Structure 1
């Protein structure tokens, strides 16, 4: 049984509780897991929504600060962790891997780092509001339910969509969202790295599979272990979408090789 630590990195628009079932699943299989919250988001989704839109501490958070937050956590561990991130957390995972802070890494439906232009209409439709152009950066952004339906839980029954929204959706910093357009989101695609798996879902609107595939293809083939896997029938709510255990099993089997 492995005793390695898995560091789960949370994406935007949700709380770290999106990893609760994955943590339990990995714990039962011999891993030590941690899923630290973002700065100023250590609460339930309902509690965080009560602060909307005047949570100035969260509103002031930048992408660089968020990446450094997780980098500091990784460095403080006794050994390099396996880092697994979802969405924006996937991009952060790629950056932490690039900083040589991971023993292996998995980027699940990852937001593309700088250098990959996300021209897909569904990506722009899903994320435009979070950029908050022409709105105050002192106010946080809360994804409306209609956008959540399109961006995260498309093709799911309405009752499940509403339950997921209530359970997970939280306000977000527009500064973090805009950081994805800056050098804060940059990494060196030519640098050798520890094993990396990138996954995508055929139903994902916010991060379409072909956007993930372009992310994968951006890496230079330099002898580093690099793999890509597309799962049919998976939307962006992949961490809690019914059948998530199949994705978790694939990830577990992959990291067990390294």
Structure 2
């Protein structure tokens, strides 16, 4: 399948493994290119982001409604196999669930990073939590999934996905890039295709969360880390869309430091 791939390469030849970034629901590869991809390339890592099938300029828009989690995992595998080396995987939100499912069939990646990820239990627990904490926000998010993006407003985006200091420009850019998401993949992340957890990942895993994340709160991030026998790192004063937050560089620097400690 023809997939949109954005790449940022180091200015000089590098032996470091590539980094492949996987976006979340309703999004596309662009969200990684504003800050993360050029920053990783500057640090010597060939950096890539793909738009999953039906997203951005990738093929499959006419079949997006029925795209499955397994289809998205296949997209990641396709891109990974075409890189010079197996990549370090970074998945945000839904992209984190894709990374978890990728582990079940592929064991060749050197490391993986989950950023504000869907937890292994899927979307039920976050939905129940949000129903208790902010039922109006949950209702608005459900309207978007079932009735379309016309229900998205800048104020809703900021409340759900961004911290207070985020500029109106960033939010407007994000709003302009939003697109529909597969109905099937939402069902997969509710109960149809969750991680089996029969075995632990054999590669290093980093779990990152944001203290002000309304979608996947801190206790779920910590629970995800515990399931995978590691510890989460939580960034204070930060919300869900960590790669576009005003303090994005703190996240990128933490990732680079973690990789360097593991000689990757």
2:26 is equivalent to residue 18 of structure 1: no
Deviation sequence 1:73-111 (CA, Å, 0-9, x none)? 223334321101111111112222343142100000001
2:180 to 149, 171, 177: 171
Aligned to 1:233: 237
Task: Measure, in 1, the Cα distance between the counterparts of 2:68 and 2:115.
Answer: 22
Residues matched between the structures, number: 237
C-alpha displacement at 1:129, in angstroms? 3.7
Verify the 8 A CA contact 2:92 2:116 in the aligned structure 1.
yes
RMSD after superposition = 2.7
Verify the 8 A CA contact 2:116 2:210 in the aligned structure 1.
yes
Task: Measure, in 2, the Cα distance between the counterparts of 1:29 and 1:117.
Answer: 37
Which region of structure 1 is more displaced relative to structure 2, 35-44 or 193-202? Answer: 35-44
Task: Measure, in 2, the Cα distance between the counterparts of 1:142 and 1:39.
Answer: 22
Aligned to 2:11: none
Task: Measure, in 2, the Cα distance between the counterparts of 1:105 and 1:161.
Answer: 27
Aligned to 1:250: 254
Task: Measure, in 1, the Cα distance between the counterparts of 2:28 and 2:174.
Answer: 11
Aligned to 1:72: 78
2:135 is equivalent to residue 107 of structure 1: no
Task: Measure, in 2, the Cα distance between the counterparts of 1:56 and 1:209.
Answer: 36
C-alpha displacement at 1:63, in angstroms? 1.8
Written as runs of structure 1 = structure 2, the 5 A alignment for 1:21-100 is 21-43=35-57, 56-98=62-104, 99-100=106-107
Q: Helix, strand or coil: the match of 1:198? A: strand
Q: TM-score under structure 1 normalisation?
A: 0.80
* Greater relative CO, 1 or 2 (CA 8 Å, sep 6+): 1
Verify the 8 A CA contact 2:166 2:245 in the aligned structure 1.
no
Long gaps (5+) in structure 2: 1-13
Aligned to 1:117: 125
Deviation sequence 1:175-217 (CA, Å, 0-9, x none)? 2222102342323264342000000001110111111111111
Which region of structure 1 is more displaced relative to structure 2, 164-173 or 25-34? Answer: 164-173
Task: Measure, in 1, the Cα distance between the counterparts of 2:15 and 2:260.
Answer: 8
